[in-house]
């Protein structure tokens, strides 16, 4: 430590006596800190969340089709008589906030399973670097396109990322990069994809967390695409930062690219010249530089087959190079801003294990369809593939959903929790036109003889939340309940509602629309709390087999209103709205004449995907939780079951058809539960369960 002068000692005492923080220069004079450069922003903290929430497996996909005569030939692990994986690593597709996912992976019981696979060797992330990327998405409805607004969870994520400009972006990415570094294996690497808007911020964050000495490459991905500027040079490259966790020990496999030449030169027998039939050119293989100009973006002349119309989709060739360079077959790789699932898709094709996560339900659903398509492709080619699971995060603590500042003292945190909850609940009850209710643990309001429970603001209503509602109903003999939520946990219904009904409790779950925060919409009575979707199915039993026919699907979703669109629409303009489960195009001609066109003609227009589990109670949902008494992780049955995806039909960009009757599935005689899951065009899932009796001899 440097020797302080008398003047410096006096200055320190003045600051301390006044209760003011010391100037930054004293940090280096008083404490041993060898850093010459540090990244500082408003609100910076070195605190990283250590929350551990249980992962709930809600769906397992390990067979593209469940035809009766199918026996999958896999060599990587044991399979049952239907070709389903019994043992070994199952890939993970996780829906939720990646900060809590990363913290739970790092500190929870799944870390042990990850380490058994050798740890995560490679992480690729493509975080949101566009301030305008607000989670809205375009959905094709016939010849028209409807823009779905982000749900409240996505709006909060957007606000957390860009609400205070660069400060909030750096705070968001800093904590996640710190968690990612801790998750990487000792010989692991990270690739962070960004563009000119955030390259300087991300470089400084990575230097501070990984160490500037561990930067291996600043890769420039140069590409050609439509649109150029006349006021500046055309922006036609992204930056990918490649850091090793330890520069002395990391995986790297030399990569080559096709270096085209004008003709065949025969100049060196050690570097063979190869004819490219497609390009009609000669080339030789050259070692890749840090400028990649040979990989085309999605939407140009190549890559059309993999195009999913997902706004941030990256070409598979880009990920092939990255995974080839910094991982080996059998390694575990991860992507925690997975979007359309390109990392998972390439990993599966290249024989890597994978973990992928995203906050958007539509992203999770897009990835699910993509991975099923890859399973079908690999199966058709006689190649191995792994099962994958879709997971939720469960049991959120209150500070995770009301945005409490965890740096406050405990009593201040509690005051903040109570104040924000009162404000939030009051807002929802007012929009729902319910009166406040007191004296309850889980209920905040009452309306038309029913008690009202308001779910959390920025996490889904979970099974635990509903179970606490049911418990209070039984204790206080309550029989009619409305549960209001912005989002409901995947796979939550119908089991939990059936459980409540068996106890004499009528629970009606309703979606809270984003318009509750719009005072004008509330004042006009335009806020509609819509019911969850409903499925109708018909079992087709023949001897010892069963098929399922999908007969109806009811949706009650709303976004905007027809009357409001008619009122605000300018001449020669149109707007697509969703009102009470109908998608309507409202148009106004040059004379101000308004017309309406209903775009959803039949109930199947709402369906993007549906799947069947022919024996729903075959696999219990087990979670691992820590026993606070002895500190050990214990396996606990949640009381629910995992949806085992045995047959599915879904629309793709190239094939919009949908089968409405499943294949016949051979079953043992007896009564069983069959579950059907439907995912709508916005990525929201709904499930129904029926009892079916199978006759005939075994």
The DSSP result for 431-483, as a single string, is HHT-EE--S-SS--EEETTEEEEE--SSSPBPHHHHHHHHHHHHHHT--EEEE
Burial group, residue 301, by CB count within 10 angstroms (0-12, 13-18, 19+)? exposed
State percent of the chain over pLDDT 90: 41
Q: Give residue 492's pLDDT.
A: 81
- pLDDT of 647: 92
Quick one: average pLDDT of 650-674? 89
At residue 526, does pLDDT exceed 80? Answer: no
The answer on pLDDT for 11 being more than 60 is yes
In SS3 terms, 359-384 reads as CCHHHHHHHHHHHHHHHHHHHHCCCC
How many residues make up the chain in this entry? Answer: 698
Q: Cα angle vertex 172, ends 426, 98, to 5°?
A: 80
- Residues 6+ positions from 498 with CB-CB distance below 8 Å: 689
For residue 85, give the DSSP letter.
B
Token pair for 214: 């561990």
- Whether pLDDT at 109 is above 60: yes
- Identify which has the larger pLDDT, 557 or 189: 189
The answer to whether the CB of 309 falls within 8 A of the CB of 331 is no
* DSSP H or E stretch at residue 568: helix 562-568
Token pair of 304 as six digits: 């059309």
Element spanning 633, H or E: strand 633-641
Both tokens assigned to 406 = 């965890």
Q: Whole-number mean pLDDT of the chain?
A: 84
Residue 117: pLDDT band with limits 50, 70, 90? very high
CA–CA separation, 498 vs 660, rounded Å?
A: 26
Q: Ranked by mean pLDDT, which of 16-20, 177-181, 576-580, 686-690 comes out on top?
A: 177-181
Model pLDDT, residue 505: 95
User: How many CB atoms lie under 10 A from the CB of residue 43?
Assistant: 11
| DSSP notation for 26-51 | HHHHHS----S-----TT--------
Instruction: Write down the pLDDT at residue 82.
Output: 59
| Rounded Cα gap, residues 334 and 2, in angstroms | 45
In CATH, the number for domain 92-138+148-251+295-387 is 3.40.50.150
> Can you say whether residue 286 is alpha, beta or left, with left for phi > 0 and alpha for psi between -120 and 50 degrees?
beta
Structural domain spans, the chain:
1-34, 92-138+148-251+295-387, 252-292, 398-488+494-531, 534-694
Q: Are strands 91-95 and 388-393 parallel, antiparallel or unpaired?
A: parallel
Task: Please work out, in degrees rounded to the nearest 5, the angle formed at the alpha carbon of residue 472 by the alpha carbons of 468 and 474.
Answer: 115
Query: Which residues are CB-neighbours of 409 under 8 A, at least 6 positions away?
Result: none
Distance CA 392, CA 643 (A): 13
pLDDT at residue 393 tops 90: no
Of 137, 102, 59, 64, the C-alpha closest to 313 is 137
* CA–CA dist 620, 94 (Å, integer): 19
pLDDT exceeds 80 at position 74: no
Q: 């911020």: which residue's tokens?
A: 201
- The Cα 584–Cα 361 span in angstroms is 23
Q: Which of 203-217, 265-279, 606-620, 655-669 has the highest mean pLDDT?
A: 203-217
Does the CA dihedral 372-374-376-382 come out positive or negative? negative
End-to-end alpha carbon distance in the chain: 83
* Distance, CA of 646 to CA of 397 (rounded, Å): 34
| Structure confidence at residue 289 as a pLDDT band (50, 70, 90) | very high
Residue 348's closest CA among 372, 326, 366, 325?
372
The Cβ-side half-sphere exposure at 362, using a 13 Å CA radius, reads: 19
Residue 450 has pLDDT above 90, yes or no: yes
Whether the Cβ atoms of residue 461 and residue 487 lie closer than 8 Å to each other: yes
Higher pLDDT, 42 or 198: 198
Q: What are the pLDDT digits (tens) for 545-560?
A: 999 999 999 888 777 7
Q: Coil, strand or helix: which one is 300? A: coil
Share of the chain above pLDDT 70, in %: 84
Task: Report, as an integer, the average pLDDT of 381-405.
Answer: 70
pLDDT at 232: 87
Rounded Cα distance between 303 and 301, Å, is 7
Q: Please, which residues bridge with residue 640 across strands?
A: none
pTM, entire model: 0.80
The reported pLDDT for the residue numbered 70 is 41
What's the pLDDT band for 65 if we cut at 50, 70, 90?
very low
Read off the pLDDT band of 305 (50, 70, 90): low
Task: Give the three-class secondary structure for 499.
Answer: helix
Determine whether 695 is exposed, middle or buried from the number of CB atoms within 10 Å of its CB (0-12, 13-18, 19+).
Answer: exposed
- Give the DSSP H/E element, type plus range, for residue 508: strand 506-511
Beta pairing partners, 665? 546
Categorize the per-residue pLDDT at 262 as very low, low, confident or very high, splitting at 50, 70 and 90.
Answer: confident
DSSP states of 569-613: PPTTEEEEEEETTEEEEEEE-TT--EEEEE---SGGGGEEEEEEE
pLDDT band at 135 (very low <50, low <70, confident <90, very high): low
Q: Average pLDDT for residues 67-77, to the nearest whole number?
A: 46
Query: What DSSP designation does 503 have?
Result: T
Specify the pLDDT at position 161.
Answer: 64
Least confident of 304-313, 398-407, 528-537: 398-407
According to DSSP, residue 50 is labeled -
Higher pLDDT, 266 or 179: 179
Tell me how far the alpha carbon of residue 80 is from its chain's centroid. Answer: 30
Q: d(Cα 290, Cα 307) in Å, to the nearest integer? A: 26
Q: pLDDT-based confidence at 388, cuts 50/70/90?
A: very high
Instruction: Note the pLDDT of residue 394.
Output: 65
The pLDDT confidence band at residue 242, using thresholds 50, 70 and 90, is very high
Q: Would you tell me how many other CB atoms lie within 10 Å of the CB of residue 407?
A: 10
Closest CA to 234 of 224, 242, 244: 224
pLDDT for 413 beyond 90: no
What pLDDT, on the 0 to 100 scale, is given for residue 559?
A: 78
Contact between residue 29 and residue 4 where contact means Cβ atoms under 8 Å apart: yes
Q: Collapse the DSSP code of 623 into the 3-class scheme (helix H, G, I; strand E, B; otherwise coil) and give the result.
A: strand
The two structure tokens encoding residue 134: 């607000």
444 alpha-carbon distance from chain centroid: 30
Q: How far apart are CA 685 and CA 6, in angstroms?
A: 69
**73: pLDDT strictly greater than 60:** no
Q: Which tops the pLDDT comparison, 345 or 154?
A: 345
CA dist 74 to 113, 378, 451, Å? 22, 11, 53
The structure tokens listed for 569 are 């629409």
The answer to whether the Cα torsion of 278, 281, 286, 289 is positive or negative is negative
Tokens of 63: 């067979």
- pLDDT tens readout for residues 218-239: 999 998 877 777 888 888 899 9
In this predicted structure, the answer to whether residue 639 has a pLDDT above a threshold of 60 is yes
């Amino acid at each position: 430590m440097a020797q302080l002068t008398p003047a410096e000692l006096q200055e320190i005492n003045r600051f301390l006596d006044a209760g003011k923080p010391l100037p930054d220069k004293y940090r280096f004079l008083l404490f041993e800190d060898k850093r010459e450069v540090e990244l500082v922003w408003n609100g910076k903290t070195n605190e990283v969340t250590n929350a551990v929430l249980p992962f709930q497996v809600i769906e397992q996909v390990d067979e593209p089709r469940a035809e009766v005569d199918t026996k999958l030939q896999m060599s990587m692990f044991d399979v049952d008589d239907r070709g389903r994986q019994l043992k070994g690593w199952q890939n993970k597709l996780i829906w939720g906030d990646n900060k809590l996912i990363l913290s739970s992976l790092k500190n929870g019981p799944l870390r042990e399973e990850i380490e058994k696979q050798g740890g995560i060797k490679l992480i690729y992330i493509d975080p949101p670097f566009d301030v305008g990327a607000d989670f809205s998405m375009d959905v094709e409805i016939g010849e028209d396109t409807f823009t779905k607004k982000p749900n409240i969870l996505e709006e909060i994520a957007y606000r957390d990322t860009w609400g205070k400009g660069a400060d909030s972006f750096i705070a968001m990415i800093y904590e996640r990069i710190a968690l990612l570094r801790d998750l990487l294996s000792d010989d692991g690497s990270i690739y962070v994809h960004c563009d000119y808007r955030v390259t300087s911020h991300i470089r400084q964050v990575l230097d501070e967390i990984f160490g500037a000495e561990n930067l291996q490459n600043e890769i420039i991905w140069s590409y050609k695409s439509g649109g150029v500027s006349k006021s500046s040079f055309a922006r036609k490259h992204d930056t990918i930062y490649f850091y090793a966790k330890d520069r002395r020990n990391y995986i790297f496999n030399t990569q080559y690219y096709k270096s085209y030449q004008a003709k065949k030169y025969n100049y060196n027998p050690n570097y063979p010249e190869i004819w490219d039939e497609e390009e009609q050119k000669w080339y030789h293989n050259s070692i890749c530089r840090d400028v990649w100009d040979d990989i085309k973006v999605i939407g140009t002349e190549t890559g059309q087959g993999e195009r999913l119309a997902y706004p941030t989709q990256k070409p598979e060739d880009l990920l092939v190079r990255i995974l080839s360079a910094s991982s080996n077959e059998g390694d575990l790789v991860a992507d925690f801003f997975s979007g359309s699932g390109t990392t998972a898709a390439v990993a599966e094709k290249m024989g890597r294990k994978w973990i992928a996560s995203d906050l958007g339900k539509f992203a999770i659903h897009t990835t699910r369809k993509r991975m099923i398509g890859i399973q079908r492709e690999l199966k058709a080619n006689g190649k191995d593939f792994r099962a994958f699971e879709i997971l939720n995060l469960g049991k959120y603590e209150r500070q995770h959903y009301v945005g409490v500042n965890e740096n406050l003292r405990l009593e201040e945190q509690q005051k903040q929790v109570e104040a924000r909850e009162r404000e939030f609940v009051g807002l929802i009850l007012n929009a729902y036109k319910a009166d406040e209710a007191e004296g309850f643990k889980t209920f905040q309001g009452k309306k038309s003889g029913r008690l009202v429970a308001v779910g959390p603001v920025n996490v889904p209503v979970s099974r635990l939340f509903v179970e606490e509602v049911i418990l209070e109903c039984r204790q206080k003999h309550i029989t009619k309940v409305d549960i209001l939520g912005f989002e409901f946990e995947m796979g939550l219904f119908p089991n939990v509602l059936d459980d409540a009904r068996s106890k004499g409790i009528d629970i009606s779950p309703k979606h809270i629309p984003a318009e509750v925060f719009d005072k004008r919409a509330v004042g006009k009575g335009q806020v509609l709390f819509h019911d969850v979707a409903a499925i109708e199915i018909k079992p087709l039993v023949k001897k010892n087999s069963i098929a399922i026919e999908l007969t109806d699907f009811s949706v009650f979703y709303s976004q905007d209103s027809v009357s409001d669109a008619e009122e605000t629409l300018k001449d020669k303009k149109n707007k697509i709205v969703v009102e009470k489960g109908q998608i309507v195009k409202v148009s106004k001609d040059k004379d101000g004449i308004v017309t309406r066109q209903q775009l959803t003609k039949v109930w199947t227009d709402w369906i993007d995907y549906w799947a069947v589990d022919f024996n729903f109670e075959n696999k219990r949902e087990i979670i691992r939780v820590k026993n606070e008494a002895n500190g050990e992780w214990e396996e606990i049955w949640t009381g629910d079951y995992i949806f085992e995806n045995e047959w599915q039909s879904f629309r793709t960009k190239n094939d919009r058809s949908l089968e409405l009757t499943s294949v016949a599935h051979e079953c043992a005689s007896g009564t069983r539960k069959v579950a059907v899951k439907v995912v709508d065009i916005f990525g929201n899932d709904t499930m129904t369960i029926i009892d079916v009796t199978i006759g005939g001899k075994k």
